[in-house]
């Protein structure tokens, strides 16, 4: 298996089983004696229990027992990362208090476009540069299009460069809290002022301005780390694993995703089609014409058609791994490891085929 990478990023739409597969990969990596960290978002109760991290809080890296200390797991907590950043980079206690108490920060900053995704990247970078692990397996957050996650660092840098920050950091208010004359912004600027004043509302502007001013020193660091993280994601030692659901209906999404990754210059490992229904032609006992049997035949055919079509649409050198639908989701380390072995075996077979 091409787990030679130091960073494996598991991507795909919500609900396809990314988190479970990421954990299974982590177990296999640890079984090979590699000191591994699995970073994950929002795992199910059962998966948390299986990994023994049921009570983990805010970014703690916990050892998974039974792996000889080779596997650690960490739940990403974006809010905690954000608060940590504030605590770490605020110039003094007063600044820290001002940010944490700012109503914009408390209520809305957590929803600032892309900020949570960005915080995940921030955290990834911190762990990757700590040298605590030889391999990191990153499960990406459940966004509609997980590509958002990868674009977060670039978006933040764009934001910093767009002039929006300059506007936000401008001394908008005089000592009395009134809006200063800003005619120097010129014609468009006057429109913007009208926009800011009449449309956005002064209170928001005041809060945002205070927030960004207090955050000013942090943003320089954001820019540096955003470009370093970008190099980490696009680096030689990083592989992406794209997980998708079975069936033809999923194909457009999968192709879109694969193309986006390629365009961004990332290295795509296998595309994993997860939970493929078995091909059942003639292998079933009981009434072959019952509604249930017809359904399963249809599901098997549908998933098979999907695989064939996807194979044709992907580049021939792109590896494609089909994982069968299991009776149960893994409930303990044993079944999680079995899933990992199955994935490993199919991954190797596919690598042999495509080489």
Shortest CB 276 distance to other proteins, Å: 12
Whichever of 44 and 129 has its CB closer to other proteins, that residue is 44
Shortest CB 132 distance to other proteins, Å: 29
> 247 with 307: CB under 8 angstroms?
no
Tokens of 280: 């059942």
Phi first, then psi: give them for residue 148, nearest 5 degrees: -50, -40
List, in sequence order, the alpha helices (H) in 73-201: 78-89, 93-101, 103-107, 115-130, 147-161, 164-169, 186-194
DSSP 232-243: HHHSTTEEEEEE
> 110 with 116: CB under 8 angstroms?
yes
Whichever of 212 and 266 has its CB closer to other proteins, that residue is 212
Half-sphere exposure of 61 toward its Cβ, with a 13 Å CA cutoff? 17
> 11 with 243: CB under 8 angstroms?
yes
Strands 7-11 and 238-245: parallel
Whichever of 87 and 249 has its CB closer to other proteins, that residue is 249
Q: Cα separation of 66 and 51, whole Å?
A: 10
Whichever of 30 and 43 has its CB closer to other proteins, that residue is 43
Whichever of 61 and 248 has its CB closer to other proteins, that residue is 248
> 300 with 280: CB under 8 angstroms?
yes
Tokens of 105: 């920060």
Q: Cα separation of 308 and 62, whole Å?
A: 41
Shortest CB 106 distance to other proteins, Å: 8
Contacts of 85 (CB under 8 A, 6+ apart): 119, 122, 218
Phi first, then psi: give them for residue 319, nearest 5 degrees: -85, 145
Whichever of 238 and 244 has its CB closer to other proteins, that residue is 244
Shortest CB 269 distance to other proteins, Å: 22
Whichever of 38 and 205 has its CB closer to other proteins, that residue is 205
Q: Where along the sequence are the contacts to other proteins (CB under 8 A)? A: 13-16, 44-46, 103-104, 107-114, 142-144, 158-159, 162-164, 167, 187-188, 190-192, 194-195, 197-204, 207, 245, 247-249, 278, 280, 283-287, 290-292, 294-296, 298-299, 302, 325-329
Whichever of 111 and 353 has its CB closer to other proteins, that residue is 111
Whichever of 198 and 315 has its CB closer to other proteins, that residue is 198
Count other Cβ atoms within 10 Å, centred on residue 335.
15
């Amino acid at each position: 298996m091409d787990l030679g990478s130091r960073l494996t990023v598991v991507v795909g739409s919500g609900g396809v089983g990314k988190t479970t597969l990421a954990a299974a990969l982590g177990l296999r990596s640890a079984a090979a004696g590699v000191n591994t960290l699995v970073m994950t978002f929002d795992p199910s109760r059962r998966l948390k229990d299986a990994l023994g991290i049921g009570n983990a809080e805010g970014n703690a890296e916990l050892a998974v027992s039974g792996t000889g200390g080779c596997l650690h797991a960490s739940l990403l907590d974006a809010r905690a990362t954000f608060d940590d950043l504030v605590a770490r980079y605020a110039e003094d206690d007063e600044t820290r208090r001002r940010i944490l108490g700012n109503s914009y920060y408390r209520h809305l900053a957590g929803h600032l476009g892309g900020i949570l995704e960005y915080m995940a990247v921030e955290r990834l970078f911190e762990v990757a540069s700590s040298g605590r692990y030889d391999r990191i397996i990153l499960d990406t957050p459940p966004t509609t299009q997980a590509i958002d996650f990868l674009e977060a660092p670039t978006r933040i840098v764009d934001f910093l460069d767009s002039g929006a920050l300059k506007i936000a950091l401008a001394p908008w208010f005089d000592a009395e809290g009134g809006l200063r004359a800003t005619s120097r912004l010129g014609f468009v600027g006057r429109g913007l002022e009208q926009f800011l004043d009449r449309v956005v509302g002064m209170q928001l502007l005041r809060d945002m301005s205070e927030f960004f001013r207090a955050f000013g020193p942090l943003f320089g660091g954001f820019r540096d780390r955003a470009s370093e993280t970008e190099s980490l994601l696009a680096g030689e030692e990083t592989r992406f694993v794209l997980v998708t659901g079975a069936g033809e209906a999923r194909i457009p999404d999968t192709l879109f995703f694969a193309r986006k990754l390629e365009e961004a210059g990332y290295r795509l490992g296998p595309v994993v089609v997860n939970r493929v229904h078995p091909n059942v032609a003639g292998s079933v006992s009981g009434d072959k014409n019952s509604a249930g049997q017809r359904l399963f035949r249809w599901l098997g055919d549908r998933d098979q058609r999907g695989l064939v079509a996807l194979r044709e649409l992907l580049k021939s050198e792109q590896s494609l791994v089909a994982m069968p639908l299991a009776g149960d989701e893994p409930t303990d380390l044993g079944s999680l490891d079995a899933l990992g072995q199955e994935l490993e075996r199919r991954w190797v077979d596919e690598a042999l085929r495509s080489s």
